[in-house]
A and B are shown apart, each in its own frame.
Chain A
Amino acid sequence: MKADRSAPPGHIQRLLLLYPGVLLAALFGLPFLIMLAVSVFRRQVEAFYEPAFTLANYAKLLEPLYLERLLFSLWIAALVATVSILVAVPFAWLLARSAHRTQSLWLVALLAVLSLSEVIVGFAWSLLLSRTAGLSNLLVWLGLLDQPRAWTPGFGAMLAGYLYLVLPYAVLTLYPAASRVDPELAEAARTLGASELRAFLTVVVPVLRPAMTAGWILSFVFTLGVYLIPQILGRPQHWTLSVLITDQAVYQSNLPLAAALAAVLLAASLLLIALAGRAGGSGRRA
């Protein structure tokens, strides 16, 4: 038996709810409502915005400039999520089969990297891919390259930065499911003569499929939220929706447009998270 839940509701417990309730409503609920309201307001430079009802901010999303950014954001998110999941699935499965100590060590590393600020990650990769401190020096030393080169900014550098952020995230979303796969499943396949790789592909992957779908969607949403990597490691043509939102809000002082872009991002994210919940949920029941 857990705590007695049929007991008459205590007044103190209701009072206890007041504090988190008020704070969450005021600082989470209210800002979202205001943001949605501002997304249909008109831009007014001195006062941030003026009340109105216009869909012009949303219509902007159909202009080539914004449409292109939106499509690019979706494409890069799909690419990064796919690569991350493809690496994360075998990695998470092998990690879950490792000794407890090995698992702890890797989890420390993954969590530490995951918690690093995008500023730090961007800075570190721009050093690694730079001319003076970078990887190219090593290749020159090894005789594989004539002279040191700078690989940043560029699409490849940006992709590396993205993967550095998203790969640990993908591993950690798959880890719980991977640790629940019965090791005897793969063992049985091998006893029947399947190779290690074959057993993994034909037995483990199908069991993990719902978790993979959920993990892919979550990684996709996570990638959509990256906002500094394209600015540090990419070029302006690599800017994403998240960068555009910051840019409009802070530099162009166009809060209504920023709010409309954010509302679109919010709607897309909520829809995807709901889908991920369903995919993951059906997996747990199976």
Chain B
Amino acid sequence: MSRLGWGRGLLFAAMGLFLLAPLVVVAGVSLNAKKRLFFPPEGLSLRWYLRAFEDPGWRQAIENSLLLAALSALVAVSIALPVAYLLWRRRWRLVRMLFVAGVAPFMLPPVITALGLMIFWATLGLYGRFENLVLSHGIFLVALPLITLKLGFDSIDPEVVEAARTLGADDRRLFATVLWPLVRPYALSGYAFAFVLSLNEYIIAYMVAGFTVETLPIKIFNALRYGYSPVMAAVAVGFVLVAGLVFGLFARFGDLPRMMGRLR
């Protein structure tokens, strides 16, 4: 390890600087005392953080985004759980097709899914409804709980299942007493993943209901066009903190390297 020495240190430092620099500036700007975007900040104040909650427009956007993320992540997990379970339990072709269909929207450029959903809701004459947005995000984000749950089911020790069967457990009982407790952490991480990504998602929210439901990313982008304000920086810091917190919890309570595909 030591012989990798300075080259490794240099690359890691450069990457760290590249990833951190814009975030540091955003955090600095959010602390400005006056309504100016200086870095380093002139005077220190947390008023822009308060403003994000006091201003009715920002407050509404925060509520919209949190509700959307909470509900659409639930939709995503509820679709992913039966697919992941049956993928493990049965070798049905249809299940494998559903798995691919669930992962696909996430692999493709999101603008394609966004346009598809926009045309779909417009054709139904249901453009711009919050419920549609929840379903649209739910479908788009199925990939995440699907992948974490597949990982969860695959990691179940076959001998545990065998033992439960020998003791006479049927499918339902096996699921309730053995499988669900084992895959619950994976369902939870899938939910958290989907929650964070729904919170940050712009294009689908914009094309499905952009003119009627203002989510936080949409609000920030609209605000960008009318000039910058430190409130935007404060909200952006909130996004970074939520993402850092969620993935930090993954690392704390789970094996993040294994989850991201490490085998050794």
Contacts and interface: CB of A to CB of B under 8 A. Distances in A.
B184 interface: no
Interface in A269-285: 269-270, 273
Among A32, A91, A106, A163: residue with most chain B CB under 10 A? A32
7 contacts: A2-B161, A5-B89, A28-B102, A30-B120, A115-B243, A172-B260, A225-B109
Interface in A20-59: 20-21, 23-25, 27-32, 34-35, 38, 48
A185 interface: no
Given A34-B123, A117-B201, A123 B26 contact: yes
A111 interface: yes
B44 interface: no
Nearest to B196: A115
A246 interface: yes
Interface residues of B, number: 101
A269 B108 CA distance: 7
A23 B139 contact: yes
Given A35-B116, A105-B251, A112-B243, A3 B89 contact: yes
Contact of B39 (A17, A109, A120, A137): A137
A10 B171 contact: yes
Contact of B239 (A23, A120, A128): A120
Contacts of B221: 119, 228, 232
Nearest to B219: A119
Contacts of A127: 22, 25-26, 29, 37, 39, 228, 233
Interface in B124-173: 135-136, 138-139, 142, 158, 161-162, 165, 171-172
A101 to B, nearest CB: 9
A275 B45 CA distance: 52
Contact of A38 (B102, B119, B210, B248): B119
A108 B250 contact: yes
A125 B21 CA distance: 9
Interface string B13-39: 001101101110110110000001111
Interface string B89-119: 1111011001001101101111111111111
B261 A2 contact: no
Nearest to A180: B263
Given A120-B236, A262-B115, A269-B109, A27 B207 contact: no
B112 A119 contact: no
A1 B37 contact: no
Interface string A163-191: 11001100010011001100000000010
A-B interface, 9 closest residue pairs, ranked by CB to CB distance from nearest: A225-B109, A176-B261, A31-B116, A124-B22, A133-B39, A31-B120, A117-B200, A112-B243, A104-B251
Among A2, A100, A112, A273: residue with most chain B CB under 10 A? A112
Interface in A81-109: 87, 90-91, 94, 96-97, 100, 103-109
A242 B1 contact: no
Interface of A: 1-5, 9-10, 12-13, 16-17, 19-21, 23-25, 27-32, 34-35, 38, 48, 87, 90-91, 94, 96-97, 100, 103-113, 115-128, 130, 132-135, 137, 163-164, 167-168, 172, 175-176, 179-180, 190, 196-197, 221-222, 224-225, 227-228, 232, 242, 245-246, 249-250, 255, 258-259, 262, 265-266, 269-270, 273
B112 A265 contact: yes
A262 B207 CA distance: 14
B98 A17 contact: yes
A252 B202 CA distance: 19
A17 B162 contact: no
A90 B11 CA distance: 9
A94 B11 contact: yes
Contact of B240 (A110, A116, A196): A116
Interface string B70-88: 0000000011101101101
B129 to A, nearest CB: 14
B119 A34 contact: yes
A234 B224 CA distance: 14
Given A112-B244, A132-B37, A168-B19, 4 more contacts: A9-B92, A17-B95, A124-B25, A176-B262
Contact of B260 (A123, A176, A270): A176
B46 interface: no
Contacts of B243: 111-113, 115-116
Given A24-B98, A34-B119, A164 B4 contact: no
Given A132-B37, A269-B112, A107 B251 contact: yes
Contact of A112 (B26, B224, B240): B240
Given A108-B244, A120-B217, A176-B261, A266 B112 contact: yes
